[in-house]
Amino acid sequence: MNNIIIVEFILYCLVILGIGYYFSRTKLDHSAFLLGGKKLPGWALAFSERATGESAWLLLGYTGFVFATGLSGIWVAAGIALGIIFAWLFLAKKFMEERDKYNVLTLPDYLAARFGAQANLIRWFATILISSFLMFYLSAQVAGAGKMLFTTFGLNETTGVVLATIVVIGLAFTGGFISVVWTDMIQSVMMLITLVALPIVALVYINTNDLSISSALAEAGSTHDAWFGGATGFAIGLLFFNNFSWFFGFLGGQPQLSARFMALRGKKDVRTGRNVAILWTFFAYGGAFMIGVTAITIYSQTTFADTETVLPHMVMDLMPAWIAGILLSGILAAIITTADSQLMVVTSSVSEDILHKALKLDLSEKQLLTASRIIIIVCGLIGMIIALASDTLLYLIVGWAWAGVGGTLSPAIILTFFWKRYSGVGVIATIVSGFVFTVLWISTPLDSIITSRFTTFFIAAFFGIVFSLLFPNKKS
């Protein structure tokens, strides 16, 4: 099987890199390199937004989480699904309109343009926040690719991480945002096929071998067959909010996702993108949840040294070799291209918000492109080093990044969009309090009781509201 998978994986990666090379030959200005220049259809942006928001986290992290915890993992999917629906229904169009109104390319640039008196401070603080946490998000994707290569080919994880980093840097370096979106779109379709087909095959296997899902859940652990993980009373509330808390990161604060909203061309694309994204979410998360549940039935809890390798093992065990090769290649490539999305966000924040806007360096379009590509290389290598140095689980790393960035910037976006009294000082207070609070919270045992994904959002919102009331914008 490995030889078939290797050949298909190499061919798949060549196709993906070929797309990047194709767009690198297209004449790109700085705007198109960072945000697509209004050249991308809504359906492609929706597929890209979904692949960017999930990938290694969904394919490896969430399926492994359900395998390890059981039915209570459904609340993670519920929180995420509602967050995605809310974002596409109430925020996507607003992001597109605000991009045109303020002529901006990034989330920090929008907040800075919206609150001009504190523009540079907002750019600096937002860029520091995004770069700090998204580098860990990027490293989680690269580490996920290393796990996939280890599981699939028996390749040393360090070698896998290095190879993944080379591909990630190469793809982002060539075609920028446009090539990342189109490759994301392909990966998103492949993810959907895998997440829908694999549980169907697993259910057929379970039925054919006369296995029982309910019996397996009962035998897996004392709480696996309980929708609330065996919790009672106040503990149910904690479990619900800890798992449901992913919702708060989808409220406009994830720059790699909001960039897709900002890149939309018009109202028709908003509607198309909304429909595609919502349908994708229901099928993908329903499938991922069922993969975890069926894996509990097929395997024992002691089968895997690392539960985040459940999905690739199932693909290899249940699928014919040539199909497994295509699916595993698509999964691995999806992880790599999602890492590119995080890399592009960090790059755009540094090049556009700091070099171009905050420092006001007098750079030509060509020089800005060159600077962006240098930043891609540097940040990609830093992400690789973090991935090699950390043995933390994907689920935890992504959760921390989700709290630090999404939990901080989501209240900033919600308040900016819907509260007229929100001020520039309030934005700074939101960002600083969210950053500091997340770092402090995840450094204590409190995070295992109430997740920072939940608490950060409300702390950042509280400080934003208080400081806006204390220091309102001066009337011009």
Output 220 or 31, whichever has higher pLDDT: 220
The pLDDT mean for the chain works out to 82
Q: Which of 231-240, 258-267, 356-365 has the highest mean pLDDT?
A: 258-267
Let me know if 289 is exposed, middle or buried by CB neighbors in 10 A (0-12, 13-18, 19+).
buried
Under 8 Å between Cβ of 218 and 224: yes
Task: Take residue 67 and report the two structure tokens written for it.
Answer: 């395998």
Amino acid type, 397:
I
The alpha-helical segments, DSSP class H, found in 209-318 are 213-220, 234-244, 255-262, 267-298, 310-318
Residues 196/280, Cβ–Cβ less than 8 Å: no
pLDDT band at 111 (very low <50, low <70, confident <90, very high): very high
More confident: 385 or 28: 385
The CA-atom distances, in angstroms, between 212 and each of 203, 208, 304 are 10, 11, 20
* Higher pLDDT among residues 475 and 24, named by residue: 475
Going from N- to C-terminal start, the domains of the chain cover 2-470
Q: Which two tokens stand for residue 382?
A: 């830093």
Location of structure tokens 């070799």: 321
Burial zone of 265 (CB within 10 Å; 0-12 exposed, 13-18 middle, 19+ buried) = middle
pLDDT, tens only, 190-233: 888 889 999 999 999 999 999 898 888 888 887 888 777 655 55
Query: Token digits for 241?
Result: 């909010």
C-alpha separations of 205 from 195, 197, 198, 224, 293 in Å = 16, 12, 10, 21, 13
Contacts of 213 (CB under 8 A, 6+ apart): 206, 293, 294, 296, 297
From CA 406, how far away is CA 456, in angstroms rounded? Answer: 9
430 contacts: CB under 8 Å, gap ≥ 6: 408, 409, 411, 412, 415, 460, 461, 463, 464
More confident: 273 or 397 = 273
Rounded Cα distance between 426 and 470, Å, is 9
Position with higher pLDDT, 270 vs 329 = 270
For residue 461, the model assigns a pLDDT of 95
Tokens at residue 262, please?
Answer: 């900002």
Q: Is the dihedral of CA 5, 8, 13, 14 positive or negative?
A: positive
Q: Highest-confidence range of 22-26, 155-159, 266-270, 328-332, by mean pLDDT?
A: 266-270
What tokens were used for 71? 């039915």
Q: How far apart are CA 57 and CA 311, in angstroms?
A: 12
Which of 155-169, 213-227, 407-421 shows the lowest per-residue confidence on average (mean pLDDT)? 155-169
Contact indicator for 309, 60 with CB cutoff of 8 Å: yes
Please give the CATH architecture assigned to the domain spanning 2-470.
Answer: Up-down Bundle (1.20)
Residue 392, SS3 per DSSP: coil
DSSP codes joined into one string, 127-162: HHHHHHHHHHHHHHHHHHHHHHHHHHH---HHHHHH
Query: What is d(CA 357, CA 119) in angstroms, rounded to the nearest whole number?
Result: 9
Task: Count Cα atoms within 13 angstroms, Cβ side, for 255.
Answer: 34
According to the model, what pLDDT value does residue 24 have?
Answer: 61
Q: How confident is the model at residue 396 (pLDDT cuts 50, 70, 90)?
A: low
Whether residue 260 is predicted with pLDDT greater than 80 in this model: the reply is yes
Backbone torsions φ then ψ of 302, nearest 5 degrees: -100, 5
Per-residue model confidence (pLDDT) at position 428:
96
Q: pLDDT tens, 47-83?
A: 989 988 777 678 878 888 899 888 888 888 888 898 8
